Structure 1
Amino acid sequence: MKQTLILLSFVSIFSLYSVHLLLKTANEGGSLLYEQLGHKAFGLVGKLAASGSITMQNIGAMSSYLFIVKYELPLVIQALMNIEDTTGLWYLNGDYLVLLVSLMPILPLSLLRNLGYLGYTSGLSLLCMMFFLIVVICKKFQIPCPMEVAFLINETMNGTLTQPTAFASDSTFNMTGDDSCRPRYFIFNSQTVYAVPILTFSFVCHPAILPIYEELKGRSRKRMMNVSKISFFAMFLMYLLAALFGYLTFYKNVESELLHTYSTVLGTDILLLIVRLAVLMAVVLTVPVVIFPIRSSVTHLLCSSKDFSWWRHSLITVSILAFTNLLVIFVPTIRDIFGFIGASAAAMLIFILPSAFYIKLVKKEPMKSIQKIGAMFFLFCGVVVMTGSMALIVLDWVHNAPGGGH
């Protein structure tokens, strides 16, 4: 638990500091485009680094959202239609459902030209995730400790107690020892190497910061920083509470996908079904917001001097969605994508690029100033995070077989 709190605190503070650097650089550099700042700072290399990092980061985010659709939507449909035998039913195939959802609600929203119109959908998706958090907190006080669950299972098998068969077999919960209901403050295993990249990945909003800053009414750097502080604090609190109460519900038996752990224990639960619907709505409404910076980056890289064209706008949008759908359909697990993109693109967008742009473009501050020294130290931290995380992930790939499932 302390491990999560420490990592969340550091990553959120570092991310907020990088937003400060980015906004100050945008004001000094005279551009509100991430790629343009890269071009002004380092020429074509800087522009390609910014564009490539933005594209990688957001395609990874889109893939994670569509992975949720792929694995959760069939379960929702199955529960709503009360279907037991799913053999041969195309509408319970996650790959088909991802394609259908991408074509119906996601594509029309993604074709919107301005980001401001998507503010309402973003607000709705945030409400859905807040509902998910509330349910996670409530379930902590409703689901007994795994040791007690084992007792209930044993009593059920002996016929002395009637419990839902959704309480899974003993193989689901590894409950040997007396500490299965005791929290561990620090946990280190083969999955720990993915913690920093995944947290870094989850706090990246930097490609959308400048477009939002551009459309902010009464635009000022101070006002945008206040918006960023509130947003980062809200996300920090939601991540922390979800992780804390999810862990305190299942302890060492918690799975990588928290919703799947609840399903294993509770089976068909109405409140859990509503949560699944809320999460699905949240991710579906978030995908168009994520597409915007990818499309903006690709457009600026390839057609920066040309006037707006609906044909080009639509073609880029469809191409992005098609490529992401192929990733979701053919890549078996999202964990390695999270780790790789978090260690590379996310580290670039949070640590390396904002500090490098700041050092290069903000001329009024000397190199020996506290601000420039802080930016150089931040750049050094980014290089350490990127190289260290990538090295540990590669070592994990070499020594451990990739995890299956979702």
Structure 2
Amino acid sequence: MDSNYSAIPRNNNSSIELQSHDRNNRAYGHSKIDGFYDDEDYALEEFDELPLILVPDSESKDVGSGVPGAVFNLATSVIGAGIMALPAAMKVLGVAFGLFSIVVMGILSEISIELLVRFSVLCKSSSYGDVVHSALGSFARVVSEICIIINNAGILVVYLIIIGDVMSGSFEHVGVFEQLLGHGWWDNRKLVILIVLVVFLAPLCALQKIDSLSLTSAASVALAVVFVVASCVIASIKLVEGSIKTPRMGPDFGSKTAILDLLVVIPIMTNAYVCHFNVQPIYNELKGRSPHKMNRVGRITTVLCVVVYASTALSGYLLFGDDTESDVLTNFDENLGIRFSFILNYVIRIGYVLHLVLVFPVIHFSFRQTVSELIFRTSVPQSRTITLALTAVLLGIIYLGSTMIPNIWVAFKFTGATTGLALGFTFPSLVALRLDKQGKNLGRATRFSLWLMLVLAVIVSIIGVFGNIYSLKNQTG
């Protein structure tokens, strides 16, 4: 009697499962998730118990990080340097439209994350590139991997730029070292970034498993919360005292510069939520993993990030108004007009630098993994020596980038309009539509939402790219 299932041989080092195969030897399943699938499909539990990839017992789905650890790792992937550009984005959009954009982008990002999880399980994919390959082919996989590399490299460069801005200062603002010790060799920007990279970042980036970073991710989220709470408290005190000017509620269309900023600010908003490249690695190492549990991780993370982003953008814009810098941390070198302002400035800036130091390895993990897959066709090289050498080379490239790019606004507006939109919205929409099986899995409302998300992503990307190019021409001309 013919069967659609093939048994995997049992031994002491492997788990056993039944896999359903089609003629091309691909494993598929049918699912129904939160109304996304029709009634005739099987329940989600049909493949909830199947691991995303075959792993030894020592690395089975009962070993790894729990939901809190996964939330911390995913939130750390989201809450990074992007938070520092949000007050400047709100300065462009105004309070009402800025808050609306933060919430809408969070919801759309959560939808795309759930789609990635569902179709990753359906296709037995172990990485972002794998699920893109299953749906769109090898060329699309290479494009997606290049997007991840460019996006993550840009994010890591931004982290080092912020660390340099805070510790060594910039043309307009004084750094922590100069305030504490005066001007000297110790506040040389390139030297400070190099020391931080070698002494603090390299050891964490050398780790091979992302669940090893759960504790540092928890600490980084805590430090981000400290920054948010401190800035909100300061803004509230000044608001009660009446020393804050009435903020603008909508965009400013009064000048050519304001309109150009408006064209590029939406991609910056979308870039703030891009964490999709880390969804599969976090899912793979989730204890007792299932799509339902990973969706819970995504929803908790989204709510946390929306609250943190909205609080930061609003408090930063209220505090500094039209003087808000592209990196709002640099604004905290001045007197805030409240008691203990001097101490609070140091707490906020140094605390967030520590946050970035702890976030950096999480982003670097998927960066290195994707480069490894592109070069070696495996996410983890067999040799530990190769892994360390690859880590060293990538960190060197990131360091060079941080010495050449002038500020985080330049980096964010380009990655947000290109790779950020592609990874967060374009590829997830295309994957879901391609694997829809001629409309039998997804309902009409879901398919409409996917097409809407795809069209909006393309439009925003085109507008953002041309807006960036035109803005650069105006600056150089």
What TM-score comes out, normalization by structure 1 length? 0.85
User: Which aligned pairs between 1:4-403 and structure 2 lie closer than 5 A?
Assistant: 4-74=98-168, 75-81=175-181, 83=182, 86=183, 89-143=184-238, 181-188=245-252, 189=258, 190-266=260-336, 269-304=342-377, 308-363=382-437, 365-366=439-440, 369-370=443-444, 371-401=446-476
Per-residue deviation, 1:144: 7.4
Moved more, 375-384 or 279-288: 375-384
Per-residue deviation, 1:39: 2.0
For the Cα contact (< 8 Å) 1:16–1:229, is it kept in 2? yes
Gaps of 5+ in 2: 1-94, 169-174, 253-257
Amino acid at match of 2:195: L
Gaps of 5+ in 1: 149-179
User: How far apart in 1 are the matches of 2:105 and 2:408?
Assistant: 21
Equivalent residue of 1:269, what SS? Answer: helix
CA 1:280–1:373: 2 relative to 1, 3 Å: same
Equivalent residue of 2:437, what SS? Answer: coil
User: How far apart in 2 are the matches of 1:398 and 1:193?
Assistant: 15
User: How far apart in 2 are the matches of 1:385 and 1:351?
Assistant: 11
Aligned residues: 366
For the Cα contact (< 8 Å) 1:11–1:200, is it kept in 2? yes
Deviation track 1:194-250 (CA, whole Å, cap 9, x = no partner) reads 321111111001000111011111111111111111111111111111111222223
User: How far apart in 1 are the matches of 2:236 and 2:427?
Assistant: 44
For the Cα contact (< 8 Å) 1:351–1:381, is it kept in 2? no
Moved more, 339-348 or 305-314: 305-314
Identify the structure with the greater helix proportion: 1
Q: Greater relative contact order (Cα 8 A, min sep 6): structure 1 or 2?
A: 1
User: How far apart in 2 are the matches of 1:18 and 1:187?
Assistant: 28
Per-residue deviation, 1:191: 2.2
CA 1:52–1:141: 2 relative to 1, 3 Å: same
Deviation track 1:346-368 (CA, whole Å, cap 9, x = no partner) reads 00011110111122234374388
User: How far apart in 1 are the matches of 2:239 and 2:278?
Assistant: 42
For the Cα contact (< 8 Å) 1:53–1:345, is it kept in 2? yes
Per-residue deviation, 1:7: 1.0
For the Cα contact (< 8 Å) 1:106–1:284, is it kept in 2? yes
User: How far apart in 1 are the matches of 2:178 and 2:410?
Assistant: 29
Per-residue deviation, 1:78: 2.8
For the Cα contact (< 8 Å) 1:111–1:314, is it kept in 2? yes
Equivalent residue of 1:191, what SS? Answer: helix
Amino acid at match of 1:184: R
What TM-score comes out, normalization by structure 2 length? 0.72
Identical-pair percentage: 25
For the Cα contact (< 8 Å) 1:348–1:382, is it kept in 2? yes
User: How far apart in 2 are the matches of 1:222 and 1:145?
Assistant: 44
Question: How well do the aligned residues superpose, as a CA RMSD in angstroms?
Answer: 2.3
For the Cα contact (< 8 Å) 2:381–2:387, is it kept in 1? no
Deviation track 1:98-134 (CA, whole Å, cap 9, x = no partner) reads 1111101100100001000111111111111111111
CA 1:316–1:47: 2 relative to 1, 3 Å: same
CA 1:227–1:192: 2 relative to 1, 3 Å: same
Amino acid at match of 2:323: N
Per-residue deviation, 1:135: 1.1
Amino acid at match of 1:98: I
User: How far apart in 1 are the matches of 2:293 and 2:267?
Assistant: 29
For the Cα contact (< 8 Å) 1:28–1:361, is it kept in 2? no
Deviation track 1:270-306 (CA, whole Å, cap 9, x = no partner) reads 1211111111100011111110001111111111258
User: How far apart in 1 are the matches of 2:349 and 2:194?
Assistant: 19
For the Cα contact (< 8 Å) 1:367–1:373, is it kept in 2? no
